[in-house]
Amino acid sequence: MIVDDAVTLPGLDEILDRVRVVAIPLHTRFRGQTVREIAVFEGPEGWTEFSPFPEYEDAEAAAWLRGAIDFGWAPSAPSPAGRTEIMVNATLPAVPADEVERVLAHYDGCRTVKVKVAERGQTLDDDVARVRAARAVLGAEGRIRIDANAAWNVDEAEHAIHRLCEFDLEYVEQPCASIEELAEIRSRVAYMGIPIAADESVRKASDPLAVARAGAADILIVKAQPLGGVSRALAIVREAGLPAVVSSALESSVGIAMGAQLAAALPSLDYDCGLATVDLFEGDVVAPAQSLVPRGGRIPVRRPEVDSDLLARYQASAERTDWWRARLARCHALLAAAAASDLVDPEPTSLL
């Protein structure tokens, strides 16, 4: 069965025989998590990663499995610009202002910081203090973008952007949830010259191109694994006709390598990419010499090999490993059913 134009869906046993599940601590709480669980397995093209967040339903997680299979079984996408390195941004979780310098010290040479704002239980004053502290660390020439993860309504977003604009924002990522709200806030702040970027409205939508058609964003945030793989993400960017920023989904170096391949394959790359999140982990599944942590604000475009000792060190419990194996089986069944349906009734389908 065909899972994508160039990839035949591998058998479930072929994946389960090779899968390893790890649980890696984070040095800073992120998305409410202190430990990140990840499944990695090896395909004909090399190691790949399946790591949808635990709360995601199977229908959404299946796209992540499609992305993992695409990376492990399909040849690498060529880079039209011959990129061998990708400029990356630091990611600053919603920490108190007095912790900003400590967190950013983990990132080597990044000139851009994405600051998480609108955290539940915090206030806009907390966001302002955090962004101010980030600006102090970066200096006047550094670049700051903020990410609200769709937490504001339009009025809240407008008020927040006015409060934060003094820090020279590069763009505002997903300030509101719906495409209609994004279009309205984009219109309201257009005079300020601050672009609006869409993440969840692309990644979680049944129609990832709707945001472009509605004029709701200036920039697309694309993530290889959640969008179903490098080839599908490239197709979305091509059809949307908007600048793209490649971001991670809090992945190990294996998942980051997938994102780096996507970034290298984009026709143009005008912004630093959010692919430095391995720095949020206390460990990795690949040895330090191959780990895709930023050096001088860059990561290389390469496929790392996993380290057997690190797989053993961070091995998840038997209970959690069984949970991930069962999840893999359910998502694989969804992909198989979708592939069979396409063969029976080959109507045009969504890019997701």
Annotated binding-site positions: 147, 173, 199
Q: For residues 138 and 292, give the distance between their C-alpha atoms in angstroms, rounded to a whole number.
A: 22
The DSSP call for residue 165 is G
Q: For residues 346 and 128, give the distance between their C-alpha atoms in angstroms, rounded to a whole number.
A: 51
Task: Write down the catalytic residue from 36, 114, 116, 232.
Answer: 116
144 neighbors 138 (Cβ within 8 angstroms): yes
Structure token digits, residue 188? 């309201």
Structure token digits, residue 15? 């994946």
Q: In the Cβ-directed half-sphere of 51, how many Cα atoms lie within 13 Å?
A: 26
Residues of the binding site for Mg(2+): 147, 173, 199
The DSSP call for residue 114 is E
User: Which residues are 88's β-sheet partners?
Assistant: 273
DSSP states of 308-323 as a string?
HHHHHHTBPPHHHHHH
Element (H, E) at 185: helix 179-188
Q: For residues 195 and 219, give the distance between their C-alpha atoms in angstroms, rounded to a whole number.
A: 7
Q: Which residues of 47-68 are buried (b: 16+ CB within 10 A; e: fewer)?
A: bbbbbbbeeeeeebbbbbbbbb
Annotation marks residue 114 as catalytic: no
Name the packing angle between helices 58-73 and 318-344 (round to 10°).
80
Annotation marks residue 204 as catalytic: no
Task: Write down the catalytic residue from 36, 130, 223, 232.
Answer: 223
Q: Looking at the chain, how many residues does it have?
A: 352
Structure token digits, residue 322? 């069984």
Element (H, E) at 37: strand 33-43
Backbone angles phi, psi at 75, to 5 degrees: -60, 155
75 neighbors 44 (Cβ within 8 angstroms): no
Positions marked active-site: 116, 223
